[in-house]
Structure 1
Amino acid sequence: MGKKSHSQDAQEPAEGISRRGLFIGGSAAAAAAVVSGTAAASSASAASSPAYTSAAHGGDGDLLFVNGRIHTYDDANSVVDAVRIRDGRFIAVGKDAIRVGNAKNKIDLRGRTVIPGIIDSHNHIALVSNRPGHWVGLEDVFTHEDAVARLVAKAETVPEGELVTSLGPIVAMQFPSNTLPNLTTLGQVPRPVMIMAEQGGNAVNQAAVDYFAAKGITITINAAGYPTGSGIGLALQRLRQEMTDAERERNAKATLDYYATLGITTHLDEGAFHVDTPGTAIWNENAYTLHRGFLALDAKKALPVRVRFDYLEEDSTLDLPRLTERLKNAFPFFGNDMLRSGGIGEFTVRGFGGGSAPIGGPVWLAGAKAVAQAGWRNENHSLSATDINQIVAGWEAVHAEVPIDGLRWVVSHVPNITPDHVNRLKAMGVGVKVGWGPTRNGSNLGPRHRMLLDSGIPVGYHSDGGDITAINPWLNFYTMITGRNLAGTFTWAPGEQVTRDEMIRLATKDNTWFIREDDLGGIKVGSHGDLLVLDRDFYAIPDEEIPRVRSDLTVVGGDIVYDSGKLPGDRRWAHGTNHRYNQLT
């Protein structure tokens, strides 16, 4: 095979979105009406007022923020006191923001801290969006009492006899006891409740035990008040069998709304382990219907935040049946500002845990070569010294035949990466993603952040949450800044932590390299108007407060998509042009 070169500008995003361009065999049919989901402790409702834009109203639709500490993460790392958004983009930053339009529609920040919208460049948000029941996020509560209060508030919006769920993004380590609320504690919730944690077990109340018993599924409870045995998995499987497209759409909206309260304005989803029919594990889903909820919301212009996704392939034979069809019949970086496809990841083929096509083996190498020949981005994860050795050597072999520089290939997690690996990856134009740490235990669990940042290799932030760990960025930021997990265990050597400024940069400006969208990730003229008004000064608070940071106001493309109501002022005029405004009280 002759050599093929790729320019740095390869794979520029295309506009428009089609079923063929998104996935093979999946349906893009919109579901029935969107049912409002929960974000904090209550329901979210879409605005019903007419679109109100500056183009139609002589600048009255501008969104002007003044009197803040606005960390721009522009090229100069400026901190300014004002910014103006018009027609979805920043049009002025600093003092110019006050001069370039009228000041009728402004928000006085009163010294609040503002940062760009957070980009999570590798998570499993689509898995979360496909979980059944009336889903509620619990990653930002830290006592059993607060978890129950959140569930009770959600239950008040749920019809009698229907199920409240929190499946996936919750970890037992959030709570001082390192346990979830048990059967007795959850008995305070006036609806059936089912919790399946990413780490730390599962939980139900008696109403849920009875709910599933009526479906012929027995959930056995142990002496401590927690489910034991296979019943909980079978219950999840039954719920998935009964899911409707309307339910997927509702929970996709609830999921994205919830993470908007925590400041994530762009998600890059890394797929699921494929099953043709519903399975019993929270990391399984049908890869061809995985995005239906997002597609339905996008068709209605109702996506509250930006979603990008990679295709996780699981071939085990040299003919690469899935990967070959994907590369022939789909387009990378295809879609629109709110929903866009990406590359191949987080596996080229099914090499996870050894599998039938291990990293470095002939099927994996054939897959990597096919991705390079097609000119697509490729992402693989590394969890061990063996993984990273094989990825670096394998990609070097591919690069020698089909150069991958310019394609922005990625290795994620990288706990065992060495300076030699970094130099070799950097020579191929490869980047690395770091994060995924708040629930880790043991030793040798985090990469050498200082070495990576000093090396000049592209480095970005990711949570990897949704099926094995937390998505909440502030939990992950806490670990990367302090080097400790949520239980307080020190997980890596002193000096390898990142500073707070470096942390936000990794999750904003630096992550644009990984999603190939330079007009995100910073507050600068011409970029998309995505920003967060934080509920406290992240740069000054004690370390112990970092996990509790939230957004008080989240803006995506100039639309207020989450408003805590804590900032003064009348914002009825700020309903977004895509009707994505949510008032959460």
Structure 2
Amino acid sequence: MHRDGDRAMPGFGRRDLLKAGAAAGVVGAAAGVVGAAAGVAGAVAAPGSASAHGSSHGPADRIALVNGRIHTMDKRGSVVNAVLVEDGVFAEVGRDVPRGGPGLKVIDLRGRTVVPGIIEGHVHIVSLANRPGYHVVIENARDVREIQELLAKRRRGVPRGEFVTAMGGWHPNMFAERRVPTLAELDAAVPDRPVLLFQNFSGPARTNSLGKAFLETASIPVVVAADGTIAAGAQSNAALYHLRVRQTFEDKKRSTRDAMAYSASVGLTASLDQVLFPTPGPLAPTQSLSNLDHYRMYDPWLAVHADGDAIVRLQTNFLHNQNDVNLPELKERLRNVFPLFGDDMLMTGAIGEWGAPGDGSGAAWLEAQRVIAQARWRNTNRALSLAQFQNIVAAYEAVDAEFGIKDLRWTVHHVPFVTRELLDRLGALGGSVQVGTFRYPSGTAGASGSPLRSILDSGIPHAGIHMDGVHIAPLNPFFGLYYAVTGRNALGDLINDGEQVTRAEALRMFTVNNAWHLSMEDRIGSIEKGKLADLVVLDRDYFSVPAEDIKRIRPVLTMVGGKVVHER
């Protein structure tokens, strides 16, 4: 039997016990600051190596996509009917694309809309890649019945005793009933495997009968209500712990592949990951979904990449949370990691979501800006209020006067409040903003907003959109596009009136503008000759469908570096 303290988990055997021990060993091994900080940079290939430019995932022979409406997102906003892909890049765009010939595979788009691969400029997808259990993303379900169907489908092939999970990224407002399935409804969908649904960072959560029986008798018992509800906070975190401690490294690789596959299925071809609250060392029952070892959390993604199985692009930022003004951890990171090191499928990025806590204030935060500038790194900070945005811009100006940062692309994310003056000052420093659309699931009118229109009208270059998934918001970018265009939340309430943007503007912010935030605008973000062949074929026309249908758009084909990575 698989033991958790002195209680058995139904359906677990000796082999599972060994797996649990191995998982605890992997998670509990805390690496030294210097070696671990260099982990991501040291484990991926340098630019120009054999795995650069997507060769690790083997683009197909010459492919022509014809008879489509292909929105290139180039500077002219060109729409063409065909593209040619060779060796993983766009070889021809428009009228010179051949329609036949030796070695040419032709895909007839039959009038479908094509857009560049969508880029998420502020996300936590590496956390999704570390989800425990056999995870399923439920953010696209419309009601409880569809959640049940997704869970039942995921259950197929899950070993007896293993959990089926759905964690983070969704909110009850996204479902018709404004709730998740009860214990009885989870039992009806998955009667013979334990289930755990987990909301936000620290719950609440909900489980079925098998999950209830296990969690209530675990070494750290979890209180489960009759309807399967587990209270937010300590109880939900303890339930999460019992699943995490059982994860093996192979489990994490499976979850990583699942995260990549889901990303491709919603047209998200590249992501800039912002890490999590740093939690090095062993797992603990007090840790939430947003706590992972920020040295070791990349390991399964690195392993999948090394296996040649990465199908979407990832750039990794590095978040540091030390209040010590000497900033020992940040300084070691900067000494031992190279920015933009790797290949086009996986590379290091910037310092962010922040280099020290403070959001624009405090001695440690201010010193972190100086240290990052001296090291010549790209830098990102979040602003959750107008005062924070003012403080960050003023600090950037002070650091620029001392070290010069105009070529480093220092940015500010979230920015629920802006002024034209602050945007002008940030733009003069060579910086830009990423505006959050994470209010879609649960935002209300009158709360902090998403000043999309104000930002675009200011003229600041390269303004991008981010959803900030996968804890408080979905990963699916079409929810963000819907919110940006309509100003409406998941309930259909108008909560961002006056700040809506056009469909073309929203898509540009999610593609070529976001490519700038990854320092990759010369390689991705638009469909242009010589760029990497990332594109998405849609099941309906984003530019003409009723606004309510934008959030229901799904790719029928996703291509990354000339390889079809999703098709239906």
State the TM-score, normalized to the length of structure 2. 0.86
CA displacement, residues 533-563 of structure 1 (integer Å, 9 cap, x when unaligned): 1111111111111111111111100111111
Distance 1:325 1:342 in 2: 16
**Cα pair 1:365 1:398 within 8 Å, conserved:** no
SS of residue paired to 1:453: helix
- Cα gap change, 1:238/1:28 in structure 2, threshold over 3 Å: closer, same or farther? farther
- Code of the residue aligned with 1:317 in structure 2: it is D
Distance 2:36 2:510 in 1: 25
Per-residue deviation at 1:330? 0.5
Distance 1:223 1:141 in 2: 25
The percentage of counterpart residues that share the same residue type is 38
**Cα pair 2:64 2:99 within 8 Å, conserved:** no
Alignment of 1:290 with 2:297, yes or no, is: yes
CA displacement, residues 42-77 of structure 1 (integer Å, 9 cap, x when unaligned): xxxxxxxx99767xxxxxx11211111111111221
Q: Which structure 2 residues correspond to residues 120-135 of structure 1 after superposition, within 5 A?
A: 120-135=120-135
Q: Which structure 2 residues correspond to residues 255-334 of structure 1 after superposition, within 5 A?
A: 255-276=259-280, 277-279=282-284, 280-334=287-341
Per-residue deviation at 1:242? 2.3
Distance 2:147 2:260 in 1: 19
Per-residue deviation at 1:91? 0.4
- Cα gap change, 1:402/1:241 in structure 2, threshold over 3 Å: closer, same or farther? same
SS of residue paired to 1:131: coil
Per-residue deviation at 1:386? 2.1
Partner of 1:83: 83
- Code of the residue aligned with 2:121 in structure 1: it is S
Per-residue deviation at 1:96? 1.0
Per-residue deviation at 1:323? 0.7
Alignment of 1:222 with 2:229, yes or no, is: no
Alignment of 1:382 with 2:377, yes or no, is: no
Distance 1:128 1:264 in 2: 14
Partner of 1:41: none
Q: Which structure 2 residues correspond to residues 3-82 of structure 1 after superposition, within 5 A?
A: 23-24=37-38, 61-82=61-82
- Cα gap change, 1:542/1:466 in structure 2, threshold over 3 Å: closer, same or farther? same
Per-residue deviation at 1:103? 7.6
- Code of the residue aligned with 1:411 in structure 2: it is V
Partner of 2:422: 421
Q: Which structure 2 residues correspond to residues 382-421 of structure 1 after superposition, within 5 A?
A: 382-421=383-422
Distance 2:350 2:341 in 1: 10
Alignment of 1:443 with 2:446, yes or no, is: yes
Distance 1:116 1:474 in 2: 14
**Cα pair 2:41 2:347 within 8 Å, conserved:** no
CA displacement, residues 331-386 of structure 1 (integer Å, 9 cap, x when unaligned): 000001100000100012022xxxxxx53211111000110111101100111122
Distance 2:407 2:220 in 1: 52
Distance 1:73 1:222 in 2: 51
Per-residue deviation at 1:26? 7.1
SS of residue paired to 1:242: coil
**Residue range with higher mean Cα deviation, 177-186 or 376-385:** 177-186
- Code of the residue aligned with 1:561 in structure 2: it is V
Distance 1:224 1:443 in 2: 34
Partner of 2:26: none
Distance 2:104 2:363 in 1: 64
Distance 2:176 2:215 in 1: 30
**Cα pair 1:116 1:522 within 8 Å, conserved:** yes
**Cα pair 1:21 1:334 within 8 Å, conserved:** no
Number of residue-to-residue matches in the alignment: 514
Q: Which structure 2 residues correspond to residues 154-165 of structure 1 after superposition, within 5 A?
A: 154-165=154-165
- Aligned to 1:211, which of 204, 209, 214? 214
State the TM-score, normalized to the length of structure 1. 0.84
Higher relative contact order (CA closer than 8 Å, sequence separation 6+)? 1
- Code of the residue aligned with 1:192 in structure 2: it is P
CA displacement, residues 296-343 of structure 1 (integer Å, 9 cap, x when unaligned): 011011101001110001111111011110111110000011000001
SS of residue paired to 1:120: strand
- Aligned to 1:243, which of 227, 234, 247? 247
Per-residue deviation at 1:232? 2.5
**Cα pair 2:72 2:528 within 8 Å, conserved:** yes
Per-residue deviation at 1:436? 2.3
- Aligned to 2:200, which of 198, 201, 204? 198
Distance 1:504 1:25 in 2: 34
SS of residue paired to 2:169: strand
**Cα pair 1:180 1:201 within 8 Å, conserved:** no
- CA RMSD in angstroms comes to 2.3
Distance 1:407 1:27 in 2: 19
**Cα pair 1:64 1:103 within 8 Å, conserved:** no
SS of residue paired to 2:283: coil
- Code of the residue aligned with 1:416 in structure 2: it is F
- Cα gap change, 1:224/1:543 in structure 2, threshold over 3 Å: closer, same or farther? farther
Alignment of 1:521 with 2:525, yes or no, is: yes
The answer for unaligned runs of 5 or more in structure 1 is 1-18, 31-49, 55-60, 352-357, 565-585
Distance 1:389 1:97 in 2: 50
CA displacement, residues 101-120 of structure 1 (integer Å, 9 cap, x when unaligned): 54851111111111010000
Per-residue deviation at 1:442? 4.3
Alignment of 1:117 with 2:124, yes or no, is: no
- Code of the residue aligned with 1:196 in structure 2: it is F
Distance 1:509 1:172 in 2: 32
The structure with more helix, counted as a fraction of residues: 2
- Cα gap change, 1:233/1:51 in structure 2, threshold over 3 Å: closer, same or farther? closer
**Cα pair 2:41 2:342 within 8 Å, conserved:** no
**Cα pair 1:67 1:111 within 8 Å, conserved:** yes
SS of residue paired to 1:342: strand
**Cα pair 2:393 2:425 within 8 Å, conserved:** yes
SS of residue paired to 1:412: strand
Partner of 1:42: none
- Cα gap change, 1:22/1:546 in structure 2, threshold over 3 Å: closer, same or farther? farther
Partner of 2:25: none
CA displacement, residues 141-162 of structure 1 (integer Å, 9 cap, x when unaligned): 1111111101101101211211
- Cα gap change, 1:471/1:21 in structure 2, threshold over 3 Å: closer, same or farther? farther
The answer for unaligned runs of 5 or more in structure 2 is 1-32, 45-55
**Cα pair 2:57 2:309 within 8 Å, conserved:** no
**Cα pair 1:260 1:305 within 8 Å, conserved:** yes
Distance 1:215 1:395 in 2: 50
